[in-house]
Structure 1
Amino acid sequence: MALIPAQPQFGSDTPKGERDLYYMAAASPYFQGDGCFLFHSLSLSEVGRQVRGETDFVYLDDEFLLFLEVKGGVVYFRADTREWGVMGGTKLQDPFKQVTGNLFFIRDRVLPERVGRNVVNSLIIGYGVMFPESGLPRGFSAYETGSISYDTRLIYTAEDRDVPDSFASYIRRLKAYWRNHSKYRQHEGRLSREDKLRIKDFFARDLMFRPPLAGLIRQDAAETLLYTREQKWVIMASQAVGNRAGVMISGSAGTGKTVLALWLAAECVAKGEKTLLLCYNKNLAAWLRQTVKREHPELSRLLTVRNIHALYAEFVRPSGKGSQYFNEEYPKQFSLEYPTLNQVPYDRIIIDEAQDIFRESHFRNIDLLLKGGLDSNNWYIFLDRENQDIFRGFDSGFYADFITLYNPVVLELRKNCRNTPRVIRSTGLYTGIQCQEAAKTGDGLIEEHFYASETDLINQLIRRVQALVADHVDPADVIVLVPSRDLADRLPLRSPALFVSLNDTNVTHPDPKRVRVTTPGAYKGLESAIVILAGIDSFPEDDVYRKTELYLAATRATYGFVTFFHADLKETVAARKKQHFMDNPVL
Structure 2
Amino acid sequence: MKLIPSTPRETKSSAERRLFDRLRTAFEPDQPFEPDQPFQRNQPSGREQAPFEPGQHAPLTAFHSLNLTRHAYKRFGEIDFVIVGPQGILVLEVKGGGIACHAGIWSSRDRSGTLTRLKESPFRQAEWAMHGLRSRLESALPPGIVGQFLWGYGVVFPDCDWSIEGAEWDQPMIADARASRNMTSWLSALYRYWQEREGRRRAPASADALAQVIGFLRPEVDVGIPLHGVLEELETRVAALTKEQMALLDIVDANARVLCSGGAGTGKTFLALELARRWAASGRQLLLACQSPWLKHWLETRFAIPGVSVSVANTVRSAARRAGVDRFDALIVDEGQDLLSLDRLQALDGILSGGLQAGRWCFFHDVNHQAGYFGQPDPAALALLESCAAAKMPLTRNCRNTRQIMGHIQSRLGLAMGTRGTGDGPEVVGHQVRSSEEAARLLASELDRLMGRGGLSPSEITILSPKPFADSTAARLSGKHTAELIELDEFALRHFPPAKVSFAEIVSFKGLENEAVILIDLCQAGQAPRSIADQYVGMSRARSLLIVISVVADRRNKE
Specify the TM-score bucket, using the shorter chain as the normaliser.
0.5 to 0.7
Shift of 1:511: 7.0
Matching residue within 523, 545, 549 for 2:530: 545
> Residues 264-283 of structure 1 correspond to what in structure 2 (within 5 A)?
264-283=275-294
Partner of residue 478 from structure 1, selected from 450, 461, 467: 461
> Which residue of structure 2 aligns with residue 305 of structure 1?
310
Cross-structure match for 2:512: 526
Q: Which amino acid aligns with 2:357?
A: D
Quick one: structure 1 residues 479 and 382, their matched pair in 2 at CA, closer, same or farther if it must change by over 3 Å? same
Distance 1:183 1:550 in 2: 69
Q: Is the 8 A contact 2:231 2:515 kept in 1?
A: yes
Please say if residues 277 and 305 of structure 1, whose CA atoms lie closer than 8 Å, have aligned partners that are also in contact: yes
Moved more, 430-439 or 557-566: 430-439
User: Counterparts of 2:362 and 2:538 in 1: how far apart (Å)?
Assistant: 26
Residue 436 (structure 2) aligned to one of 454, 458, 461: 454
- Write the distance in 1 (CA, Å) between the matches of 2:530 and 2:184: 68
Q: SS state of the match for residue 457, structure 1?
A: helix
Could you tell me which of 273, 285, 294 is aligned with 2:296?
Answer: 285
Sort the Cα spacing of 1:473 and 1:355 in 2 relative to 1 into closer, same or farther, 3 A.
same
Q: RMSD across aligned C-alpha pairs, in angstroms? A: 4.6
TM-score of the superposed pair, with normalisation by structure 2: 0.57
Structure 2 counterparts to residues 20-31 of structure 1, below 5 A: none
For 2:288, what is the secondary structure of its paired residue? strand
Match of 1:238 among 241, 252, 261: 252
Q: Is residue 423 of structure 2 the alignment partner of residue 418 of structure 1?
A: no
Alignment of 1:160-559 (within 5 A): 207-225=221-239, 227-228=241-242, 231-241=245-255, 243=256, 246-293=257-304, 299-300=305-306, 302-311=307-316, 314=318, 344-471=326-453, 472-487=455-470, 491-492=474-475, 494-495=477-478, 496-510=482-496, 513-540=499-526, 542-559=527-544
| Residue 216 of structure 1, CA deviation | 2.1
Count of matched residue pairs: 376
Q: CA deviation at 1:400?
A: 4.7
The residue type paired with residue 254 of structure 2 is: A
Q: How far apart are the structure 1 equivalents of 2:361 and 2:297?
A: 21
Deviation at 1:404, TM superposition (A): 4.9
Change (3 A) 1:488 1:466: farther
Q: Measure the CA separation in 1 of the matches of 2:227 and 2:420.
A: 21
Q: Deviations over 1:254-308 (max 9, x none)?
A: 1100000000000111001000101111111121111213xxxxx23x1111222
SS in 2 for 1:416: coil
Q: Tell me, in whole angstroms, the C-alpha distance in 2 between the residues paired with 1:443 and 1:274.
A: 41
Q: Which moved more, 1:413-422 or 1:225-234?
A: 225-234
1:78 matched residue in structure 2 = none
Report the AA paired with residue 551 of structure 1.
Answer: Y
SS in 2 for 1:224: helix
Distance 2:362 2:183 in 1: 74
For residue 198 of structure 2, what is the aligned residue in structure 1? none
Distance (Å, rounded) in 2 between the aligned partners of 1:569 and 1:386? 32
- Distance in 2 between residues matched to 1:566 and 1:446, nearest whole Å: 17
What is the CA-CA distance between 1:352 and the residue it aligns to?
0.5
The 1:288/1:236 distance shift into structure 2, 3 A limit, reads same
1:231-276 superposed Cα distances (whole Å, 9 cap, x missing partner) = 23320011012x3xx1111111111000000000001110010001
Kindly indicate whether the alpha-carbon contact (under 8 Å) linking 2:334 and 2:363 is maintained by their aligned counterparts in 1.
Answer: yes
SS of the residue corresponding to residue 248 of structure 2 reads helix
> Which consecutive unaligned segments of at least 5 residues does structure 1 have?
1-45, 51-104, 118-145, 148-181, 187-193, 294-298, 316-337, 571-587
Q: Which residue of 2 aligns with 1:578?
A: none
TM-score (norm 1): 0.55
Q: What letter matches 1:415 in structure 2? A: R
Q: In structure 2, how many angstroms separate the alpha carbons of the residues matched to 1:392 and 1:184? A: 82
Q: Give the CA deviation at 1:377.
A: 3.0
Measured against aligned partners, the alpha-carbon deviations of 1:499-545 in whole angstroms (never above 9, x if no partner) come to: 221112332424755211112211111111001001222245x4232
Q: Given residue 259 of structure 1, which amino acid in structure 2 is its aligned partner?
A: F
Q: Distance in 2 between matches of 1:265 and 1:342?
A: 18
CA 1:458–1:409 in structure 2 vs 1: closer, same or farther (change >3 Å)? same
- Are the aligned partners of 2:230 and 2:425 in contact in 1 as well (CA < 8 Å)? no
Give the structure with the higher percent helix.
1
Structure number, greater radius of gyration: 2
**CA 1:530 to 1:538, structure 2 compared with 1: closer, same or farther past 3 Å?**
same
Work out the CA distance in 2 between the residues paired with 1:411 and 1:400.
14
Residues 224, 418 of structure 1: 8 Å contact kept: yes
Matched residues in 2 for 1:520 and 1:380: separation? 26
1:510 to 1:349, Cα distance in 2 relative to 1, 3 A: closer
Q: Deviations over 1:368-398 (max 9, x none)?
A: 1111211223111000132422425343431
Residues 150-170 of structure 1, C-alpha deviations (whole Å, 9 max, x = no match):
xxxxxxxxxxxxxxxxxxxxx
Partners of 2:336 and 2:363 within 8 A in 1:
yes
